[in-house]
Structure 1
Amino acid sequence: LKKIGLYSMSVPQQYGGLNLNNKAKSRIYAELGCDLTLFASVFVQNELICETLKIFGSEEQKRTYLPMLAAGDMSGAFCLHEHACGQDIAAMRTESVKNCDAGFKLNGQKSWVTNGALADLLVVFANMQSKNCDQKVFSHPSANLSAFLVDRSKIEGLNVTKRQNTIGLRGLEIVDLVFEDVIIPETAILGNESSGFDIANSIVGNSRYSFSAVASAFLKRLINVASQHCNKHKSYGRPLSESNFIREHLANLAMHVYILETMAFYIAGHLDSDSNKDFTVEGSISQLLSRKYLREGIVSVMEIFGASATTTDQEFERLLRDITTFSSFMVEDENSDDWLVGYIATSGLAAWAQSKAIDLQPDDYPWHVVKNRWLSNDVYRNTFNFKHYLHEHLHPSLMDACRFIEEVMCKFDHIIRNQLKLKQKDIEEDSFALKRFCDVGCYLFAMLVAVSRASRSYCIGLKNGDLEVYMAHSLCSALKTKSLHALMELTNGVHGPNNEDLMKMKIATAVSHANGYPIVSPLERNW
């Protein structure tokens, strides 16, 4: 890995690195998808350590550490998460006490630190405290968060307390680290004091899309194995590949790969064209779908193999363990899917509210109320006119797919407006509504990138470009159906006849109160 420069992909050339763009790195990460442990190791070094140092490090920090990181002579670890705070990094308990004479003193514990036992250089996040100085400490917790560059060879008081015995990715050293009165100089701070929250969000957010490149490559490998098995084995005198049940599995796997791969390079390309663009939400969507499709993919392939998938002759045991651990590694929180759903939904709603504030102020703009009422009638009668004209920018063979997207976009816009008027800020606490907003947002993004790629491939004459058109059309048709179902449930509300949310809440409450399954046996009698 050192010889071929995999540890230097994010390092500028003046510091001995390759300085690859995001598309090139995504291509390499896809190749590393054959071994998730290998990818995780390279990802941490490049996207979390080198990127942090390159963007937020001082010139002295860059000159000191980037050449050694690029050469592979020094490895790094990203110390962000704690058991007590999960994804709420503003609530972390690790503290950095500032003394005027001695720099900073770190105390606290970090969990799920990849390569933490072996790393030479640590990026550590801690809440800034002031002692014996007239330094200002901000009232909001996130405003106190700072990031530090800790050279392990120059400190004392850092201990490894626990190695996580994960069921998969066993080649990784995932540990808990404890900092006990670790003294670091003032020059160790990254960026400015109290800029740790922005650093964490920027680095973690902009690297999420990389997981979709790896997930697509991993699923490609599963498809290759499954298709070879289906062509080789027969059932009732015919190859398995001629069974429509098997074909459905293979088609779904292929479409999932197409979505993830397209998202990865779509986001990477836009980041290369303008690194200041914020694609955190799109990256979160790709990460959420990666987790979902990886889990579904391994189950589908095991169903194709049947009973033979449960034997140790196959490698499915290791693949299943690796995927399970990798999905957790992607977010490092026990409720990672729920957190991503909430983040995607609330970010999307906030962006909508900011761009269409006029819709939420009917008293100031009464003419807009009339306009929206006409739009409501058109939406429910399916007589609305398309206003985005997607078909004018794509190949004519994708006309129907464009209509599907336009219909979902129009109805989604209308229902967001109604839901925000009805619930206002309370919508942040409505997890059922947020889940549906997230689902529709994910589906729309998937449909848009799919038709964009399919149109390009067909127009420039790429091999199997016609198959990409079929794939994009099939995706848009399926995702339109799912989107409209979710929007219908939002329209009906919690008490609607087709919405089971209220019942689910009552069932969950009963399970919690009973500390388990509350229903008695069907053989019980009350007489």
Structure 2
Amino acid sequence: MVKASDERSFTKSLFFGDIQEDMVFPYPTLDEENMARLAMILDSLRTFAQDKIDPKKIDHEACLPREVVSGIKDLGLMGMQTPMEYGGLDLDTMSYARIMQELATYDNSVAVFVGGHQSIGMKALLLFGTEEQRTKYLPKLASGEHIAAFALTEATAGSDVQGMKTRAVMNEDGSYTLNGSKIWITNGGLADLITVFAKLKCIKNGEEKERITAFIVEKSMGFKAGPPDEKMGQKGANTASIYLDNVRVPAENVLGELGNGFKIAMEVLNNGRLGLASGCVGTAKYALKLAVDHAEERKQFGRKIGEFGMIQQKFGEMILGIYAMESIVYLTAGMVDRGVKDFSMESSICKAYNTEMLWNIVNHALQIASGDGYLKKHPYERLLRDSRVNMIFEGTNEIQRMFIALSGMEGPGQKLAQLARAFKDPIGEMGVIYDYVATKVSHTVNADRLTRSDPLLKDEAVGFEEGVKAFAATVEAALRKYGKHIIDEQFLQKRLAEIAMNLYVQVACVARATAQLHALGPEKAQMEMRLCKAVCRKACHTANQLLKVCDANDDDEIRKIANFTYESGGYFCPLH
């Protein structure tokens, strides 16, 4: 097996069989100053939310009340990660994630409004803006005087951004004229400023070609917003189409380099996915609390329903799910705060894992509530509607799985390609061959280990280590089998992505529980240790099952059935 570079993310290294445990140990925590500051913000937010945020009213009226929007602005929550010099709170990523979690506890639409403004709307300006651009725009965005949005998606360009139809043309005076339209834009109908992505003919690496470029577009420049989209859930969050008809944008409003828009969009979405994943934790905790309260009150056959095994099983799954969700979100947020350059795969894992786990948790809560769960007067059906879109926006979970698998295999694939070339010229490339053989022997005889996990979690650490070793071997075998055609093997990609997700869950929980064991001791951290062990057993079992079916499976049969279904136009085996 080939060796990963130290520049790689933690999870990408797992595709090589490498465990960079210094990236996950010790589990991140806030220092006393930031903890105290976060506590003050959360106290103010709770006081405001309990008095002003009425999720039932927001859902019914399909908009956010003015007093809610004004209150959010007054709390400073529109500029949480904006530097203080521009009027923001300059919070670290862990604090931001915790506040997004809290907002989603009260209402998903409010969380989406705030996240759409900060996690993606103004994020490109924060990451790639010039000093002049930041000075001009950030103060009003941080105060909430102006609202930001992010416009990438089009009717023909969802995850496939190369299908983008919006065009920018450079004018003689250096300005640009934009034409096109965007759909499903969060805060689109409210926005004063939008980060717009358009194709522009430009020269890069000596070649003229249409490349995606990012622009800061003000409302005064002439973009129009359509009516609010009517949605299944998150009705209070404004979502609208944006229309650009000969919108003239000055040269100084180009974000980053010409033709560098795709990279900008991806980096922004990496941040946005982490905010979304942390919001899922808050909604999941709220759903759990509703279910606990109901189970304590509701009696059947003379007993509280919480005493019945099938209900207890649901509660167990909900608690384990929340523990895992929380563990990966704050591990990833801590990586960002430590300056880890590449956290793209970890944020994708958080997004896919947490949105699907939230869906399961809300579904369990509704089932525990039984008939009450289906009634509109109770919050369960709203939570179910609000939660469903999370698996779709900011990149569908199918796209997340493709990204995780293909991005993870890119490095090992390149190394194997180098090795193949080396064997054609063994004299001139002995260094490549030697490195491969030495690494192969090292991984076989002395695979990477977790040396910093608590001894009480030895079984969980070993399960993770063995999983990483088997995973890397499976990745290499798949690359050897399919080569460049691996891009078409989506059944396999899905499995590999889910193995990576479950490995990340395991190590996040082990790192978190280790920190608690060291801080509190085994007796006080007993329940946390129990949660860690249960989550790891489940994740390890799932990963092992997926490893087994990477080769022996029914993929070909499923393909044939699916293709015949398309040809038949639907179900093709009626009894009558």
- What is the TM-score normalised by the length of structure 2? 0.81
Tell me what 1:29 maps to. Answer: 100
Q: Return the match for 2:494 from 435, 446, 453.
A: 435
Q: How many residues align?
A: 496
Would the aligned equivalents of 2:269 and 2:394 in 1 still touch at CA under 8 Å?
A: no
CA shift at 1:160, angstroms?
Answer: 2.6
Tell me what 1:251 maps to. Answer: 316
Tell me what 1:348 maps to. Answer: 408
Q: Return the match for 1:151 from 204, 214, 218.
A: 218
Which letter maps to 2:555? D
Tell me what 1:495 maps to. Answer: none
State the distance in 2 between where 1:229 and 1:442 align. Answer: 32
Alignment of 1:348-367 (within 5 A): 348-354=408-414, 363=423, 364=426
Q: Return the match for 1:212 from 273, 277, 280.
A: 277
Which letter maps to 1:479? A
Which letter maps to 1:418? A
State the distance in 1 between where 2:477 and 2:434 align. Answer: 17
Tell me what 1:164 maps to. Answer: 229
Tell me what 1:418 maps to. Answer: 477
State the distance in 1 between where 2:133 and 2:401 align. Answer: 37
CA shift at 1:436, angstroms?
Answer: 0.6
What percent identity do the matched residue pairs reach? 27
Would the aligned equivalents of 1:386 and 1:406 in 2 still touch at CA under 8 Å?
A: no
Q: Return the match for 2:261 from 189, 196, 206.
A: 196
Residue 176 in structure 1 maps to residue 241 in structure 2:
yes
Would the aligned equivalents of 1:344 and 1:438 in 2 still touch at CA under 8 Å?
A: yes
Tell me what 2:132 maps to. Answer: 60
Which letter maps to 1:446? V
CA shift at 1:236, angstroms?
Answer: 2.4
Cα 1:309–1:476, aligned 2, differ >3 Å: closer, same or farther? same
CA shift at 1:174, angstroms?
Answer: 0.8
Cα 1:136–1:456, aligned 2, differ >3 Å: closer, same or farther? closer
TM-align CA RMSD: 2.5
State the distance in 1 between where 2:541 and 2:130 align. Answer: 51
5+ long unaligned stretches in structure 2: 1-71
Alignment of 1:67-466 (within 5 A): 67-101=139-173, 103-129=175-201, 138=207, 141=210, 144-153=211-220, 155-156=221-222, 158-274=223-339, 277-331=341-395, 336-354=396-414, 363=423, 364=426, 387-390=447-450, 392-461=451-520, 465-466=525-526
CA shift at 1:420, angstroms?
Answer: 0.9
CA shift at 1:221, angstroms?
Answer: 0.8
Bigger drift between 28-37 and 346-355 goes to 346-355
CA shift at 1:328, angstroms?
Answer: 2.9
What SS does the corresponding residue of 1:424 show, helix, strand or coil?
helix
Cα 1:513–1:116, aligned 2, differ >3 Å: closer, same or farther? same
Which letter maps to 1:510? F
Cα 1:235–1:355, aligned 2, differ >3 Å: closer, same or farther? farther
Would the aligned equivalents of 1:401 and 1:451 in 2 still touch at CA under 8 Å?
A: yes
Q: Return the match for 2:121 from 49, 61, 75.
A: 49
Cα 1:441–1:139, aligned 2, differ >3 Å: closer, same or farther? farther
Bigger drift between 56-65 and 90-99 goes to 56-65
Cα 1:261–1:192, aligned 2, differ >3 Å: closer, same or farther? same
Cα 1:243–1:65, aligned 2, differ >3 Å: closer, same or farther? same
CA shift at 1:90, angstroms?
Answer: 2.7
Cα 1:385–1:308, aligned 2, differ >3 Å: closer, same or farther? farther
CA shift at 1:355, angstroms?
Answer: 6.0
Cα 1:13–1:175, aligned 2, differ >3 Å: closer, same or farther? same
State the distance in 2 between where 1:116 and 1:14 align. Answer: 27
Would the aligned equivalents of 1:166 and 1:325 in 2 still touch at CA under 8 Å?
A: no
Which letter maps to 1:63? T
Bigger drift between 51-60 and 177-186 goes to 51-60
Would the aligned equivalents of 1:359 and 1:368 in 2 still touch at CA under 8 Å?
A: no
Cα 1:184–1:232, aligned 2, differ >3 Å: closer, same or farther? same
Would the aligned equivalents of 2:167 and 2:198 in 1 still touch at CA under 8 Å?
A: yes
- What is the TM-score normalised by the length of structure 1? 0.88
CA shift at 1:287, angstroms?
Answer: 0.3
Q: Deviations over 1:479-516 (max 9, x none)?
A: 21111111111133xxxxxx111111111011100110
Tell me what 2:554 maps to. Answer: 500
Q: Deviations over 1:56-100 (max 9, x none)?
A: 112222111111111211111111111101112232110110012
Q: Deviations over 1:365-393 (max 9, x none)?
A: 78899999999xxx9xxxx7662221x31
What SS does the corresponding residue of 1:266 show, helix, strand or coil?
helix
State the distance in 1 between where 2:118 and 2:217 align. Answer: 17
Would the aligned equivalents of 1:49 and 1:76 in 2 still touch at CA under 8 Å?
A: yes
Q: Whose RCO is larger (CA < 8 A, sep 6+)?
A: 2
CA shift at 1:151, angstroms?
Answer: 1.4
State the distance in 2 between where 1:37 and 1:208 align. Answer: 16
State the distance in 2 between where 1:467 and 1:386 align. Answer: 33
Q: Deviations over 1:329-381 (max 9, x none)?
A: 343xxxx1221111110011113335676776783578899999999xxx9xx
Q: Deviations over 1:13-37 (max 9, x none)?
A: 1111111110110111111012111
State the distance in 1 between where 2:569 and 2:204 align. Answer: 49
State the distance in 2 between where 1:410 and 1:203 align. Answer: 32
Q: Return the match for 2:79 from 1, 4, 8.
A: 8
State the distance in 1 between where 2:530 and 2:559 align. Answer: 40
CA shift at 1:255, angstroms?
Answer: 1.1
Would the aligned equivalents of 1:90 and 1:197 in 2 still touch at CA under 8 Å?
A: no
State the distance in 2 between where 1:340 and 1:355 align. Answer: 24
CA shift at 1:101, angstroms?
Answer: 1.9
5+ long unaligned stretches in structure 1: 493-498
State the distance in 2 between where 1:374 and 1:195 align. Answer: 41
Cα 1:369–1:98, aligned 2, differ >3 Å: closer, same or farther? closer
